[in-house]
Amino acid sequence: MKIPREYQNLSAFLKQNKALIILGPRQSGKTTLLNDFLSGSNLRYKLDSGDDIRVQEILGSQDFARILAYASGYQLIAVDEAQRIKNVGLGLKILVDQIPGIFVIATGSSSFELSGQIGEPLTGRKTTLTLYPIAQMELAHLHNRFELKSRFEESMIFGSYPEVVAAADKNEKIRLLNELVGSYLLRDVLQLERVKSSKLLLDLLRLLAFQIGNEVSWSELANRLGIDTKTVARYLDLFEKGFVKLKEKHPEILVGLRQLGLMMGIEMVNEYCGPAMSLTCYKNGILSVYANNDKRISQLLPPLIITRKDAEEILERLDAALGDAKVMLGLAAG
Ligand SMILES: Nc1ncnc2c1ncn2[C@@H]1O[C@H](COP(=O)(O)OP(=O)(O)O)[C@@H](O)[C@H]1O
Ligand SMILES: [Mg+2]
């Protein structure tokens, strides 16, 4: 079953000499949307993937001649998984600036945007769409209000990844969701955060899922996860102490530390800091997201089963990331 998407008619968003950027979480349907559009298009197009090492080399090269030769003879260049290409923003800029009348589409997971790769070079040269899993509004093309209402509970339980919505029965939905958890959540999050026990992470996620909309209590979480509240407290303490040192070292950027439930929030001097820290933390091996409602805040979610050595290492990496962010934002002293 194919679910019609709100953005199904991509041509409405496509402009000559502008890049159409389709962002969205993995598995939200970006590739499918792109393929559907291309297969119905009359334009002479070239579709490549950022997974392809040759494409990475060419579009990442900043070499005008190579990039123009690559696109020669085509009216539309489409790049799936563009976040895999280093400096892809510049590559796309060269295409839209140098080839009169060209259409360009690039898709990428949300980290694409965070990495800041496309923002700056493509300022004023792009249209961005964000594709989320299926919205109720999109299901309304297939089901009437009565049907949507009776399916609502199921939507709440199984969510709306397109593949899961389209699955024939409950068992299939469960199988697909397990696969998503295994391949994306565990692979991406565990790797980045270096959590040692995936069971603990899953237990924690399950607990958090039941707490949506409630205040989170450390002691309750520690209790239910069967770890010592003291461990949680000790870990908090390690960070607080380390943070005082970081603040002495980086007064130009750091303002304070906030505790947002399970998260640590690092408050900085201005709204450019959060996005910059997402990038510099990533480069230093830490996953950090900025708060959407306050971009001065970077959020960190370190594993609860952290050791002293881990905490020290995170603090060291934070130190490096803060240093990099200061340079990036021109806040470095001297
Ligand atoms: N509109 C849709 N209707 C039904 N299934 C879809 C739809 N869009 C995507 N899917 C399915 O969801 C899965 C993920 O889609 P994909 O386009 O590969 O996502 P992404 O490129 O964002 O990771 C695929 O199995 C695909 O067949
Ligand atoms: Mg894809």
CA of 30 to the centre of ligand 1 (A): 7
Percentages (nearest 5) of helix, strand, coil residues in the chain:
50, 15, 35
Res. 169 pLDDT band, cuts 50 70 90: very high
For residue 4, count other CB atoms closer than 10 A to its CB: 14
Res. 110 pLDDT band, cuts 50 70 90: low
Res. 187 pLDDT band, cuts 50 70 90: low
Residue whose token pair is 């559009």:
37
Digit-coded pLDDT (tens) for 60-91: 999 999 999 999 999 999 999 998 898 899 99
| Domains by residue range for the chain, with CATH | 10-130 (3.40.50.300), 136-193 (no CATH), 229-328 (3.90.1150.10)
Alpha-carbon distance 145 to 46, whole Å?
40
Residue nearest to atom 1 of ligand 1 (CA): 3
**Residues 6 or more apart in contact with residue 241 via CB below 8 angstroms:** none
Which of 98, 135, 112 has the alpha carbon at shortest distance from 3? 135
Q: Look up residue 144 and give its DSSP letter.
A: -
CA of 86 to the centre of ligand 1 (A): 25
Report which of residues 39 and 234 the model is more confident about: 39
Q: Is a pLDDT exceeding 80 seen at residue 331?
A: yes
Q: Residue 13 in contact with residue 105, Cβ under 8 Å?
A: no
Alpha-helical segments (H) within the chain: 30-39, 53-59, 64-71, 88-98, 111-114, 136-139, 145-150, 152-158, 162-166, 170-180, 191-193, 198-210, 218-225, 229-249, 273-283, 308-328
Res. 144 pLDDT band, cuts 50 70 90: very high
Stretch 179-198: mean pLDDT: 63
Res. 241 pLDDT band, cuts 50 70 90: confident
Q: Which of 27, 30, 38, 47 to probe ligand 1 with, by most ligand atoms within 8 A of CB?
A: 27
Determine the pLDDT at residue 246: 87
Determine the pLDDT at residue 240: 72
Report which of residues 194 and 254 the model is more confident about: 254
CA of 211 to the centre of ligand 2 (A): 31
Q: Is 174 exposed, middle or buried (0-12, 13-18, 19+ CB in 10 A)?
A: middle
Alpha-carbon distance 70 to 54, whole Å?
11
Ligand 1 proximal residues by C-beta, below 6 Å: 2-3, 5, 24, 26-32, 162-163, 166
What does the mean pLDDT of the chain come to? Answer: 85
Residue nearest to atom 16 of ligand 1 (CA): 29
Alpha-carbon distance 220 to 143, whole Å?
42
Q: Is a pLDDT exceeding 90 seen at residue 138?
A: yes
Stretch 135-164: mean pLDDT: 90
CA of 256 to the centre of ligand 1 (A): 42
Residue nearest to atom 12 of ligand 1 (CA): 163
Determine the pLDDT at residue 121: 85
Determine the pLDDT at residue 193: 47
Half-sphere exposure of 8 toward its Cβ, with a 13 Å CA cutoff? 9
Q: Is a pLDDT exceeding 60 seen at residue 316?
A: yes
Digit-coded pLDDT (tens) for 11-53: 999 999 999 999 988 899 999 999 999 999 999 999 999 999 9
